[in-house]
């Protein structure tokens, strides 16, 4: 009896391992497909072919393609977080000007990330959950951690404000930069050369930062 | 002979009239479909059924659905232009503060327009021409006219700058506001109540405006 139970456990965990491996392979294949051709090109059949499984097997390891895209987006967010951390080397200097300089560096790192990984970055915003389904809590927390970096820097500019208000300002600042990046990388309006776009980002972040200090 | 020519002319112009009417009907039907269900729901078959023509007849009056969407977007831009003009009542006051106040009013009008007509507004940015086809010049000019309003206001803040530089600043300002509006109305990040979003827009435009005066 005991032996049987143990065998059962071993079989289960090797099944778990296989499932985990298949899921990882699917995430990588989906990420590559998105990087190549964008979110709208993602097809279950092509993914199954790519990783060498049956189409039905996909749904043993993820609920559906939306869940798979969330896993891809989580990897994209992790890469972005790594880039932002690398850009934000805490300086010895203190005070508003140093904080604004750090915000500018982070904003430029965001622009560079979007320019380097445009389809994956775009998918972060293009993908919507089907009607009636919320983005899961773990994903929201990962997003929130990125805003956390900005909020921390805003402490230098807005120490007197409440935490809630600072969170809102961090969001405003991110949104303004995001707008510059989105329309700057968009082909429809005339495309802006990257150095000009960097200058725009620098200008807007500095102006908002100064506006915060004075406001 | 003459009579025949005249008849021919009459027939031609009545054909032109029928084509123009069909085209107008298709634009209205496409606009309503987009307003109801968004750009991705647009289908030639459903449009043909709506206006009572054969599917093939659509392609007698527009090149394809992309051309039709451009005509819908042109109407959306015209409505937006009307709203922006209405919001920007030239004040008697002159100088940077008055110009910043006018920029804030225009930015809030943009936010209100996007909130009131979200799917149509979203379609302005979601729609991309197929690979290898450019947005036509008449559409670009209509877009440009909207930036023109902002550029004119920036004359008060940046009179010393070149026209090219002011055009770039107008674009930066618009992009920053657009970012706030896009992410504020997006369901994926937590939705922001409209009054809070208005406050964010006011803050960011004022900060950038002041940053321009000081820079």
pLDDT tens digits, one per residue of B79-89: 999 999 988 87
**A186·B125 Cβ contact <8 A:** yes
Give the chain B residue nearest A186 (alpha carbons). B125
Q: Select from B41, B62, B83 the last residue of a domain.
A: B62
- Residue A40 tokens read as 């709208």
One domain for residues A117 and A74 = yes
Q: With beta carbons under 8 A apart, name residues in chain A contacting B214.
A: 210
Could you tell me the end-to-end alpha-carbon distance of chain A, in angstroms, rounded to an integer? 73
One domain for residues B55 and B69 = no
CATH number for position B72: 1.10.357.10
Cα(B44)–Cα(B46) distance, integer angstroms: 6
The shortest CB-CB distance from A172 to any of B143, B174, B200 is to: B200
One domain for residues A108 and A177 = yes
Q: Select from B12, B41, B62 the last residue of a domain.
A: B62
- Residue B94 tokens read as 């002159």
DSSP-derived secondary structure letter, B63: S
One domain for residues A48 and A98 = no
Question: How many folded domains does chain B comprise?
Answer: 2
Dihedral sign from CA coordinates of A55, A57, A61, A64: positive
Cα(A95)–Cα(B212) distance, integer angstroms: 22
One domain for residues A19 and A68 = no
One domain for residues A21 and A102 = no
Cα(A93)–Cα(A173) distance, integer angstroms: 22
Q: Select from A9, A27, A62 the last residue of a domain.
A: A62
One domain for residues B34 and B118 = no
One domain for residues A151 and A177 = yes
Cα(A113)–Cα(A129) distance, integer angstroms: 24
Cα(B209)–Cα(B214) distance, integer angstroms: 9
One domain for residues A73 and A171 = yes
Dihedral sign from CA coordinates of A23, A29, A31, A34: negative
Interface residues on A facing B, Cβ-Cβ cutoff 8 A: 125, 128-129, 135, 143, 168-169, 171-172, 174-180, 182-184, 186-189, 192, 196, 200, 203-204, 206-208, 210-212, 214-215
One domain for residues B153 and B174 = yes
CATH number for position B18: 1.10.10
Q: With beta carbons under 8 A apart, name residues in chain A contacting B175.
A: 176, 179-180, 182-184, 200
ipTM score of the complex?
0.80
Q: What is the pLDDT along chain B (215 residues), one digit of tens a residue?
A: 444 555 555 566 788 899 999 999 999 999 999 999 999 889 999 999 999 999 999 999 999 999 999 999 999 999 999 999 988 876 667 788 899 999 999 999 999 999 999 999 999 998 888 888 889 999 999 999 998 989 988 888 888 888 888 888 999 999 999 999 998 887 555 668 899 999 999 999 999 998 888 76
One domain for residues B97 and B184 = yes
Cα(A137)–Cα(A157) distance, integer angstroms: 30
Q: How many CB atoms lie within 10 A of CB B138?
A: 9
Ordered DSSP codes for A192-211: PPHHHHHHHHHHHHHHHHHH
**B175·A182 Cβ contact <8 A:** yes
One domain for residues B119 and B187 = yes
pLDDT tens digits, one per residue of B152-177: 888 888 888 888 888 889 999 999 99
Q: Which domain holds residue B11?
A: 1-62
Cβ within 8 Å of residue B49, ≥6 positions away: none
DSSP-derived secondary structure letter, B131: T
Q: What count of Cα atoms within 13 Å lies in the side-chain half-sphere of residue A84?
A: 21
């Amino acid at each position: 009896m005991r032996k049987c139970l143990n065998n059962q456990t071993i079989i289960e965990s090797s099944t778990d391992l296989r499932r985990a491996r298949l899921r990882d392979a699917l995430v990588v294949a989906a990420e590559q497909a998105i990087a190549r051709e964008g979110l709208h090109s993602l097809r279950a059949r092509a993914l199954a072919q790519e990783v060498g499984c049956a189409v039905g097997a996909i749904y043993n390891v993820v609920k559906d393609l939306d869940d798979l895209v969330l896993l891809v987006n989580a990897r994209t967010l992790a890469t972005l977080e790594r880039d932002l951390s690398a850009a934000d080397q805490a300086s010895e200097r203190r005070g508003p000007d140093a904080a604004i300089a750090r915000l500018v560096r982070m904003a430029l790192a965001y622009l560079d990330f979007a320019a380097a990984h445009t389809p994956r970055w775009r998918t972060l915003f293009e993908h919507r959950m089907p009607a009636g389904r919320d983005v899961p809590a773990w994903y929201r927390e990962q997003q929130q951690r990125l805003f956390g970096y900005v909020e921390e820097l805003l402490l230098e500019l807005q120490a007197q404000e409440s935490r809630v208000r600072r969170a809102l300002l961090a969001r405003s600042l991110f949104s303004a930069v995001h707008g510059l990046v989105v329309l700057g990388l968009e082909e429809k309006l005339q495309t802006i050369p990257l150095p000009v776009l960097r200058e725009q980002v620098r200008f807007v972040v500095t102006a908002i930062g100064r506006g915060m200090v004075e406001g």
